Amino acid sequence: MSLDPVLSRIDTDLTEATDRLKALLRIPSISTDPAYKADCDAAADWLVADLASIGVEASKRPTPGHPMVVGHVDGPGPHVLFYGHYDVQPVDPLELWDRDPFDPQVEDTAKGKVIRGRGSSDDKGQLMTFVEACRAWKAVNGALPCKITFLFEGEEESGSPSLVPFLKDNADELKADVALICDTGLFDSRVPAITTTLRGLLGEEVTITGPSKDLHSGMYGGPAMNPIRVLSRIIAGLHDDTGRVTVPGFYDGVPELSPEIAAQWEALGFDHAAFLGDVGLGTPAGEQGRSALEMIWSRPTCEANGIKGGYTGDGFKTVLPSKASAKISFRLVGQQDPHAIRESFRGWVEEQLPPDCTADFQGHGASPASTMSITHPAFEAAREALSDEWPDPAAYIGSGGSIPIAGYFQDILQMDAMLIGFGKDDDAIHSPNEKYDLESFHKGTRSWARILNAIAKV
Ligand code: BES
Ligand code: ZN
C-alpha cells in the first residue's frame, strides 16, 4: 500500500471534505444543554452513516447520557483506537458572533482561509481529519493500513459522565495497541506536536444563601447579610498576593519541574509576549516567579468561571438577593487528588461563613492530571511522520487543557494515549467566532495519513 497517492487524493478531495465537515458542523450538538439532546443524537447518526460510507462497521451505542459511536475496520498493521468528540460547547454570548455559529462557512482572513463555526476546532474539525485520512486510504488502496477502532463521544464538553462505565463495560471490544486522540493543538503554525501532559480538572459550584427571600436593599441593607458580599470575599480569598491558591493542602502532590523538561521547554522558544499580546494582555498574572508556559503546562490553578446573584438585567434594581453562586474550577497537575481538594475547598468555604449564611455545593467532574508514557514505538514513528508533513520537526509538549479519557485509557484499558491535534491558540475554542484553519484541516488530514502509514510499519 502506498502513501503518495493517498496524500494526492487528500489534496484533490479537500473541497468535498470541507463540505462534509460543514454538514457535521450544522448539527448543534451542545451536550451540556438538555434542549439539544435530539441534536446530539443526530450528530451521532451522521457519524455512523459517514463511517459506513468508508466501509467501517459502525453503530450508535446508548448511554445514560448522549450516545457513543463505535466503529471497527480491519487492516494488516497494529490495532489503533481513534477517539474524538462530536459534542460542542454552548454558543453564548450569541451576540458576539459575527455569523450563525451553526451555519459554518469558509472565510478568507489576513492569516489565511478558516472554517468558522461552533465545533470547527473543538472537536469536529479535528475528528474529521482522521476520518478523511481513512477515506483517502480506502479510496486509493481499497483498505486501511492498520486495524482501527473508532470511538466518538458526545459528552466530553460536559465532563464525560457516561465514559468510565462505558469503557469498563466494553473493555474487550475497545482495547487496542495504542489510542490516538485528536483534541489538542500544534505548538505553533510551523511546529506540530505530540502532547504528553494534560491537567486534571475539578469543578465546584457553590451557592451562598442568606435571607430567606430577596429583599428591598433600602429596607434591609445594613442589618441583613448580603450573600454576594460573602461570596465575593470567598472568591477574592482564593489567591494570595503572590498568586498562589490558598485552599489548604492544594499544593500536595504538585511536583517541581525537572531540569531536563525545563530545558526542553526553554528550547521551544515560546513567545510569551505574543501569547498574552494576542489576547490584549501584557502582564502575567498567576504565581510569581513562574513563566506563562510553566503556569499553563505544569502548575495548578483556580479560576472562577461564572458568578450569579442579584439583578443582572438592563437598568437597575435595588435588591438584596437571597442567594449568590459561583462556578469555580481547579486545574490539577502531578499527583494532586481531586477528591481531597474538593473536600478541603468545601471545608474552607464553610469556615468563612458568617452567621445566618449557608453554603451548598454541587460538583462538576473531578479528574486527575495525566502524563503519557511515550515508550511505545508508535510515538517515535508518529513524530517522524508529523515532521515530514510540517515545516519544522514535531515537538513533545504539555497542555493546559483537560481530556479525562486520556487517563482512563491508561487506567481502564491499559493503553497508551497519543495526543496529536492541529488546533491553534487563536482558534477561539469555547468562545464566540470559533474557527479552524483550512490549513489545520488539510495538513492534519495529511498528517494522519502519514501517521497510519508509519504505525503500520512498527
Ligand atoms: N479540546 C479540549 C481540551 C484542550 C484544550 C486541549 C486546549 C488542549 C488545549 C477539550 O474539548 C476541553 O475543552 N476539555 C475541557 C474539559 C472538560 C472536562 C469540560 C477543558 O479542558 O476545559
Ligand atoms: Zn472543549
Strand partners, 436: 115
User: Is residue 458 within 8 Å of 378, Cβ to Cβ?
Assistant: yes
Write the CA distances from 227 to 86, 124, 246, 247, integer angstroms: 39, 41, 21, 20
C-alpha pair distances (Å), 6 with each of 56, 127, 343, 456: 18, 18, 53, 15
Note whether 119 and 87 are same-domain residues.
yes
Is the beta carbon of 402 within 6 A of some atom in ligand 1? Answer: yes
The pLDDT tens digits for 228-263 are 999 999 999 999 999 999 999 999 999 998 898 888
How would residue 271 be classed by pLDDT, with cut points 50, 70 and 90? very high
**CB-ligand 1 contact for 201 (6 Å cutoff):** yes
Same domain, 228 and 375: no
402 CA → ligand 1 middle, Å: 5
Query: 276 pLDDT exceeds 80?
Result: yes
Query: Is residue 150 over pLDDT 80?
Result: yes
Same domain, yes or no: 163 and 206? no
Please list all protein residues whose beta carbon sits less than 5 angstroms from ligand 2, which is an ion: 122
Q: What is the model's pLDDT at position 258? A: 87
User: Are the C-beta atoms of residues 36 and 29 closer than 8 Å to each other?
Assistant: yes
What is the distance between the alpha carbons of residues 148 and 338, in angstroms, rounded to a whole number?
Answer: 33
Q: Is 122 in the pocket of ligand 1 (CB under 6 A)?
A: yes
Q: How far is the CA of 74 from the centre of ligand 1 (A)?
A: 31
Nearest CA to ligand 1 atom 3: 401
| Same domain assignment for residues 25 and 75 | yes
How confident is residue 174, by pLDDT bands cut at 50, 70 and 90?
very high
pLDDT, residue 334, reads 96
206 in a structural domain:
yes
- Tell me, what's the pLDDT at 406? 95
The residue whose CA is least distant from atom 8 of ligand 1 is 184
Q: Is 28 in the pocket of ligand 1 (CB under 6 A)?
A: no
Measured between its terminal Cα atoms, the distance across the chain in Å is 15
Q: How confident is the model at residue 159 (pLDDT cuts 50, 70, 90)?
A: confident
* Among 363, 392, 410, residue at a domain's last position: 363
Residue 333 counted as domain residue: yes
Residues 247 and 185 in one domain: no
Q: Which domain holds residue 120?
A: 4-198+369-456
Task: Identify the residue whose cell numbers are 473536600.
Answer: 343
Helical ranges in 191-310 per DSSP H? 217-220, 227-236, 259-267, 272-277, 292-298
Whether 135 and 184 map to the same domain: the answer is: yes
Q: Give the ligand whose atoms come closest to the C-alpha of residue 434.
A: 2
Number of domains in the chain: 2
Do 70 and 151 reside in the same domain of the chain? yes
Mean pLDDT score across all residues of the chain:
97
Q: Above pLDDT 70, what percent of the chain?
A: 100
Residue whose C-alpha cell is 434542549: 35
Cβ–ligand 1 contact at 437 (below 6 Å): no
Copy the grid coordinates of residue 368: 486527575
Report whether 293 contacts 267 (CB < 8 A). no
Ligand 1 pocket: which of 188, 402, 426 to mutate (most atoms within 8 A of CB): 402
Residue 157 near ligand 1, beta carbon < 6 Å = yes
Q: What is the CATH number of the domain that holds 352?
A: 3.30.70.360
CATH number at residue 112: 3.40.630.10
Residue range 192-224, pLDDT digits in tens? 999 999 999 999 999 999 999 999 999 999 999
Residue 321 lies in a domain: yes
Q: Which of 347, 363, 379 is the last residue of a domain?
A: 363
pLDDT digits (tens, 9 = 90+) for 401-432: 999 999 999 999 999 999 999 999 999 999 99
Mean pLDDT of 79-106: 98
What strands, in cross-sheet order, belong to the sheet with 301-309? 301-309, 323-332, 200-209, 358-367
What is the structure's pLDDT at 77? 85
pLDDT tens, position by position, 28-79: 999 999 999 999 999 999 999 999 999 999 999 999 999 999 999 999 989 9
Residue 1: per-residue pLDDT: 77
Contacts of 139 (CB under 8 A, 6+ apart): 9, 13
Claim to verify: residue 107 and residue 137 sit in the same structural domain? yes
CA of 403 to the centre of ligand 2 (A): 9
* H-helix or E-strand spanning residue 342: helix 338-351
Let me know if residue 44 belongs to a domain. Answer: yes
Q: Is 367 exposed, middle or buried (0-12, 13-18, 19+ CB in 10 A)?
A: buried
* Pocket lining: 132 vs ligand 1, CB cutoff 6 Å: no
Say whether both 248 and 173 belong to one domain. Answer: no
Q: Are residues 28 and 77 in the same domain?
A: yes
pLDDT of 310 > 80? The answer is yes
Nearest C-alpha neighbor of 195 from the set 424, 427, 396? 396
Instruction: Measure 422 CA to ligand 1 centroid, in angstroms.
Output: 14
